[in-house]
Chain A
């Protein structure tokens, strides 16, 4: 089921909200079970064939986790239990996500003709990662024993299930356990609706609105210089508004239930360096990769060279996490290389003279944005060859069309660029503070003008009017 669909907005969400708060008047556990069941139903609509896999995954990880938490095990036994859990998760992910890719490469290398056709279960990358984090923390002794309904809800919680944000059990389960969240809070519902409206507008009007321009670069056989740039920039903005729109909607929906989700985007294209970019883009994935991959690999604890190696490995695997294709591997490798260059630069030039600080910052922002756009070309292209063709066109200013279509595209891209660089982001507009569980304090205190509410109404109306018959989120396929 899609957030940007009439059945979800007009039927599913109101029914689940009503049931949640109605049950909340009677019990603290029943709303949790209700929400978990609703989440499974949400997943089943459209992906019913993978519900069993999801439930098996929950049962397996809960079992291993419970074993690590409750059983009296020797350190080697604990290690073995963790290895079993993580290996089980990675095996399932490997089969469903990477078997086809591996077979293709074996065929290419050995000239064989093996064929593997396995459908990718929606959200598998997300729910596998959240559960691996749970197992690792259970192994480290950082997890209290959770009740099964709370754990099941933590994994299946429908606002995040399909495309994140990647949740952390320590953040979520205590919220599910709190009684206050089961009582309707008008302020949180109001803020949730406004954040949802902003996300819906980003998705249906902005991301879907610019999507046709992407074809200029990625569906043309030989795009010109301007077409290639327009297409690459259009995809850069489409992806941002699509994914951050989804994240906003997830945060908004969750807020209606009184649950605070972590922020996933913080104006990433305003970053002045690639390190900063990764602190602003898909933040929950960055945190996951840092805590459960980069640091266990050794992080920056074993000298500069190994730090760069660890960075590269982390980003390569991060790329592969997005999809089983060489384009994602190249994308990850590029970002790994960017991060190494950025760290090396910081080591070589620790202090920029005050006079040069501003120009260096601007140059950094421009360079970072261009580097990100180049990497997105690989992320979006059907193949590495295709990506190279687009990049070649972007580097060949001798071939320019600059016709009516290209000028119109450029005007549209300029509008999007202005929005990305000049407009405040959702959490700034709403004063969303995930850590302190606060949102919309200005609204609550009456410091916002009525015009703000009318603006939010317009955004919600446009978001609803922008709904097309079927427009999936880009991150659904990861």
Chain B
């Protein structure tokens, strides 16, 4: 009996020792670069976690925010097109509360310019950031709770161990090459590659009119069309816009905000027109408010790319009704640099009216 209790004590103490060893390993390797920047670091596509480390470890003067529509941009392309030193913080499926929170962290670390791909749907559902299960504010703020969740983590210990193995010279090259194909998160050697499409990516295969039309048929199918406007509400969306975007912009008058409405395919709006006209009205009404409010702010330049017919009507530019190809990414940067589609503060609704006319006139091909 005594031997059993001795074994039990030994088991528990050894477990504690293993836990502490894992904590030390993660702290020393610091895969997220939360404590110190590292030139040999690797990066992860898990942007909600990765951004917490990027904000602390990278040097930048401009930050780039958005949802999945902005996720494939390359920082190097942004830098080249706009003459800045950028940090891409776009997060797939993110809402306005998450975006505003992450942006504020980046501004606090030195961003003087924000480029913000502002989708209307980010304002649909923005829950309390303090209790958001998908984005740990404690990790970004480096509170004791956030640091503990980072250090006391089997997943981070695994990543640290892999990073350690990868730093051993004979293993460096094979493990670095194999990492993207292994179940490890920190697999990207270059920060520029986070969520970026490979240079040899087959654009035509993933972005073409056939896929766009199929997506249109899918979302407008009678069994699914009710989801088109799910959660959309004018009052709540305007409230979220005010709370997340306007108040952030007002709090940082010395930061320049280049905000743009992304160039969705015309079918996004046509789908709403045909299957959920109420949703289309909410979207146009909300973006009218956004345009009117933002153009009044001295530190905001608003760009509206939604009515650029040559792009939005060419369905080969899209993988579904909203996600545009990397070719359009390049155009967006060009337009941002030239200010060609900047909304005139004196006539903030001109481009929106153009869009409305286009949507009304568009006829879907069978």
Which residues of chain A have a CB within 8 Å of any CB of chain B? 185-187, 189-190, 193-194, 197, 204-205, 209, 221-222, 385, 404, 407-409, 411-412, 415, 443-444, 446, 453-454, 456-458, 460-466, 469-470
Chain B interface, DSSP helix/strand/loop, else mixed: helix
Chain B residue contacts of A444, Cβ below 8 A: 4
When the two chains form their complex, are residues B154 and A465 in contact, meaning their CB atoms are under 8 A apart? yes
Q: Report which of B5, B12, B19 forms a contact with A465, defined as CB distance below 8 A.
A: B19
Q: Report which of A190, A404, A412 forms a contact with B11, defined as CB distance below 8 A.
A: A190
Inter-chain CA distance A409–B2, complex, in Å, is: 47
Q: Report which of A190, A461, A462, A463 forms a contact with B8, defined as CB distance below 8 A.
A: A190
When the two chains form their complex, are residues A466 and B154 in contact, meaning their CB atoms are under 8 A apart? yes
Nearest Cβ distance between residue A209 and chain B, in whole angstroms?
8
When the two chains form their complex, are residues A186 and B11 in contact, meaning their CB atoms are under 8 A apart? no
Q: Report which of B10, B19, B181, B215 forms a contact with A408, defined as CB distance below 8 A.
A: B181
When the two chains form their complex, are residues A412 and B15 in contact, meaning their CB atoms are under 8 A apart? no
Nearest Cβ distance between residue A447 and chain B, in whole angstroms?
13
When the two chains form their complex, are residues A411 and B154 in contact, meaning their CB atoms are under 8 A apart? no
Nearest Cβ distance between residue A7 and chain B, in whole angstroms?
14
Chain A residue contacts of B3, Cβ below 8 A: 186, 446
When the two chains form their complex, are residues B4 and A186 in contact, meaning their CB atoms are under 8 A apart? yes
Chain A residue contacts of B17, Cβ below 8 A: 457
Inter-chain CA distance A189–B11, complex, in Å, is: 12
Chain A residue contacts of B22, Cβ below 8 A: 461, 465
Pairs A–B under 8 Å by Cβ, sample size 17: A186-B2, A189-B5, A197-B15, A222-B214, A407-B181, A408-B181, A412-B183, A453-B11, A457-B10, A457-B14, A460-B15, A461-B15, A462-B18, A463-B154, A465-B22, A466-B153, A470-B133
Inter-chain CA distance A234–B152, complex, in Å, is: 25
Tell me how many residue pairs across A and B have CB atoms closer than 8 Å.
Answer: 92
3 A-B pairs closest in CB distance = A186-B4, A461-B18, A457-B14
Q: Which of A190, A456, A462 has the most CB of B within 10 A?
A: A190
Given contacts A186-B7, A444-B4, 17 further A-B pairs with CB under 8 A are A186-B1, A186-B4, A186-B5, A186-B8, A187-B4, A190-B5, A193-B8, A385-B223, A408-B180, A446-B3, A453-B14, A458-B14, A458-B15, A461-B22, A464-B19, A465-B157, A466-B154
Nearest Cβ distance between residue A89 and chain B, in whole angstroms?
35
Residue B155 is within 8 A (CB to CB) of chain A in the complex: yes
Inter-chain CA distance A294–B183, complex, in Å, is: 44
Chain B residue contacts of A466, Cβ below 8 A: 153-155
Chain B residue contacts of A412, Cβ below 8 A: 183
Q: Which of A409, A411, A461 has the most CB of B within 10 A?
A: A461
Chain B residue contacts of A411, Cβ below 8 A: 181-183
When the two chains form their complex, are residues A408 and B15 in contact, meaning their CB atoms are under 8 A apart? no
When the two chains form their complex, are residues B4 and A189 in contact, meaning their CB atoms are under 8 A apart? yes
B residues 207-234 touching A (CB-CB < 8 Å) = 214-215, 218, 223
How would residues 1 to 40 of chain B score, 1 for a CB under 8 Å from any chain A CB and 0 otherwise? 1111101101110111111001000000000000000000
Q: Which of B4, B7, B11, B215 has the most CB of A within 10 A?
A: B7
When the two chains form their complex, are residues A456 and B11 in contact, meaning their CB atoms are under 8 A apart? yes
Inter-chain CA distance A147–B153, complex, in Å, is: 45
When the two chains form their complex, are residues A454 and B133 in contact, meaning their CB atoms are under 8 A apart? no
When the two chains form their complex, are residues A453 and B154 in contact, meaning their CB atoms are under 8 A apart? no
Chain A residue contacts of B172, Cβ below 8 A: none
B residues 30-62 touching A (CB-CB < 8 Å) = none
Chain B residue contacts of A194, Cβ below 8 A: 11
Nearest Cβ distance between residue B88 and chain A, in whole angstroms?
19
Nearest Cβ distance between residue A57 and chain B, in whole angstroms?
32
Inter-chain CA distance A456–B153, complex, in Å, is: 18
Chain A residue contacts of B154, Cβ below 8 A: 204-205, 462-463, 465-466
When the two chains form their complex, are residues A465 and B153 in contact, meaning their CB atoms are under 8 A apart? yes
For A403, the closest partner residue in chain B by CB is B198
Chain A residue contacts of B15, Cβ below 8 A: 197, 457-458, 460-461, 464
Residue B149 is within 8 A (CB to CB) of chain A in the complex: yes
Inter-chain CA distance A194–B2, complex, in Å, is: 17
For A464, the closest partner residue in chain B by CB is B19
B residues 109-147 touching A (CB-CB < 8 Å) = 133
B residues 166-183 touching A (CB-CB < 8 Å) = 180-183
Using A190-B11, A411-B183, A465-B152 as known contacts, say yes or no to A457 and B18 having CB atoms under 8 A apart: yes
Chain B residue contacts of A463, Cβ below 8 A: 154
For A410, the closest partner residue in chain B by CB is B181
Chain A residue contacts of B157, Cβ below 8 A: 462, 465
For A461, the closest partner residue in chain B by CB is B18
For A440, the closest partner residue in chain B by CB is B4
Inter-chain CA distance A299–B117, complex, in Å, is: 64
